[in-house]
């Protein structure tokens, strides 16, 4: 069975966050989600279409997840693709 086949048990929306705020919010969200016993969560990073710099949050969040050894993937089409990341806990 695909480990991402289930519906995320919690979602964090990072719209309107700076990179610094986003990193802090993601760390807290992942810690709380693990403590709650969740297996899969979604982080909405947006596509950066309203940002002069483009999609900066997605890269920052992916780097944080990689550095912390989390398994993750971009959400599939119809699930918020290009703007959301599913994280396996």
Quick check: is 67 in a domain? yes
Q: Number of structural domains, the chain?
A: 1
Quick check: is 38 in a domain? yes
Quick check: is 1 in a domain? no
pTM of the model: 0.86
Number of residues assigned to the chain: 89
Quick check: is 3 in a domain? no
CATH code for the domain in which residue 74 is found: 3.30.1370.110
DSSP 67: H
DSSP 55: S
Range of the domain at 69: 10-88
Q: Tens digit of pLDDT per residue, the chain (89 long)?
A: 466 568 899 999 999 899 999 999 999 999 999 999 999 999 999 876 666 665 679 999 999 999 999 999 998 766 656 689 999 99
Q: What is the pLDDT of residues 51-65, one digit of tens each?
A: 666 567 999 999 999
Q: What is the pLDDT of residue 77?
A: 66
Quick check: is 26 in a domain? yes
């Amino acid at each position: 069975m695909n480990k991402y086949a289930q519906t995320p048990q919690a979602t964090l929306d990072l719209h309107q966050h700076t990179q610094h705020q986003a990193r802090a919010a993601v760390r807290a969200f992942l810690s709380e989600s693990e403590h709650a016993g969740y297996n899969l969560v979604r982080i909405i990073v947006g596509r950066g279409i309203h940002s002069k710099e483009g999609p900066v949050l997605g890269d920052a969040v992916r780097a944080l997840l990689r550095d912390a050894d989390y398994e993750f993937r971009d959400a599939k089409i119809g699930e918020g693709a290009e703007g959301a990341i599913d994280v396996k806990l």
